[in-house]
């Protein structure tokens, strides 16, 4: 069994920066490679494109989710419609069906 260290950084596409900073985006949905965030930890937030730091967030929860279980509440927490959310997730993670919902708050 490989032990993963707790991550101290997370990246988001630049297009999500305003929603994160305004508090409108309070979750992120990731694949299994990013399941190691721990509740109560504080992580640095940077842009995926150029690794520019723009915030710190506190991790409130990490839970599993199957793609078909995506609902209006998840969409609201992502600050988009359910159709948009399903489209974005499918674009970023084609063919993946199991995810990890990381709920967070801005520090």
| Active-site residue flag, 49 | no
25 catalytic residue (yes or no)? yes
At 6, is the pLDDT very low, low, confident or very high (cuts 50, 70, 90)? confident
Please name the residue ranges forming H helices in the chain.
17-22, 72-78, 82-92
Using 50, 70 and 90 to split pLDDT, how confident is the model at 4? low
Q: What is the pLDDT of residues 19-36, one digit of tens each?
A: 999 999 999 999 999 999
User: Can you give the pTM of this predicted structure?
Assistant: 0.92
Cα gap 63→75, rounded to integer Å: 16
Q: Are 101 and 35 contacting, i.e. CB atoms less than 8 angstroms apart?
A: no
Question: Among 25, 81, 84, 91, which one carries the catalytic annotation?
Answer: 25
The rounded percent of the chain whose pLDDT value lies above 90 is: 94
């Amino acid at each position: 069994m490989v032990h993963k260290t707790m991550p101290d950084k997370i990246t988001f596409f630049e297009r999500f920066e305003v929603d994160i900073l305004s508090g409108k985006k309070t979750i992120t949905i990731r694949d299994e490679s990013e399941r190691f965030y721990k509740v109560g930890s504080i992580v640095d937030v940077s842009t995926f494109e150029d690794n520019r730091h723009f915030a710190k967030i506190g991790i409130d929860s990490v839970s599993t989710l199957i793609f078909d279980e995506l609902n209006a509440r998840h969409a609201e927490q992502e600050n988009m419609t359910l159709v948009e959310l399903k489209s974005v997730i499918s674009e970023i993670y084609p063919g993946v069906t199991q995810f990890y919902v990381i709920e967070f708050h801005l520090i």
